[in-house]
Chains A and B, each alone.
Chain A
Amino acid sequence: MDNAAPPIVEVRSLNKSYRRGNEVVPVLEDITFDIGQGEFLALMGPSGSGKSTLLNLIAGIDKPDSGSIEISGIEITSLSETELAQWRASNVGFIFQFYNLIPVLTAFENIELPLLLTGLSRRERREHVATALEVVNLTDRMDHYPGQLSGGQQQRVAIARAVVTDPTILVADEPTGDLDRVSAAEILDLMDRLNIESGKTIIMVTHDPKAAEKAHIIRQLEKGVLNADSETHL
């Protein structure tokens, strides 16, 4: 680990398994690593290697069997469900493969959604959403519903929703997996810009080596184990 930046994510001895009938299937085994402030990390590995599970654990939407995850000094594995929800609302921005926008809300309303959990006034929320729309260059599509937008545009709305609360980290699970080459490149450029210009720490799970090239560091997971020799600095 030769990161220059101080760690913002500290993962220690993380284990996770799933139960399939009577059988216990280990998914992650003894995972330990750090992610520095402002890093852009790509997690790669074959299907079933546990990369999405690791991402979910870091994002606080799943709980490990053992081990710890400390993010910005907060031990998230010891938080209750309610505390974890509150923590996610203000610290994590999510970007999913299938965008996961609410279809009955416009682009503007989708982006505004996480802000409803903050104490911001309506006017302040509008300002934040307008800024996020500018970042993803979709101001002219703010009144469109997800069904009226292309895949790339929907993913940009999802990115705007992820950054609108100014979270500590951005997690992206196959963000280009459902996009054509041109749209995928646009999304990766946008994420790159967020990382460089806004200093966002990004953790991205991807199968796509081209997508991973945008990251500063690539880590490989194989059968639930983090390959110690796999850390690649780009």
Chain B
Amino acid sequence: MRSKMRSLKAVPAAALCAFILSGQIRSATTVNSAVSVSIASFCLIAVTSSSVSLTITNPSTPGSVPANTTNSSTYAQYSSTVASGVTRRITAAWETGNSAPSGCDLRLQATPGSGQGSSAGQIVVSTTAQNIVTGIGGCATGTGATSGAQLAFTLFINAMTSLVAGQSTSATLTLTMTDS
């Protein structure tokens, strides 16, 4: 009996609630709900290969300067979210104490994909950070083998008489993505 009574009570109560709710749906115009959303500020960069090799070899014609050797096989890939009005850039610099072989300098030009910032043109790599990509907003370059900003390295001969045959130099280049 008690359970029947409870269920009998429950029915009108439920009906009342349904009536009230439907009444609210019909009568209330706006319900505010405070939803907090936060976009984290991402700034991540990687390269498709940790090593690049460049070798100066025989010129095609005796008496001529050997061709500057190039390597465009690697890419800088990055993900970035920025606050409104803010952009980022990528800089390049030798690690402290690193340099190109004597008689040479290393030149670098980064060519980003569409919407991934703008190339700052070719730089001569030094121990001072220099821009290679600027104007990076919110973007993700992708992680495919040829996604991102293509890194075109050129080992440029600037003083033929200073070249040292057999000299092999492994130098570390740091790419940094940072707020502009």
Partners in one complex: no
List residues of A whose CB falls within 8 A of some B CB. Answer: none
List residues of B whose CB falls within 8 A of some A CB. Answer: none
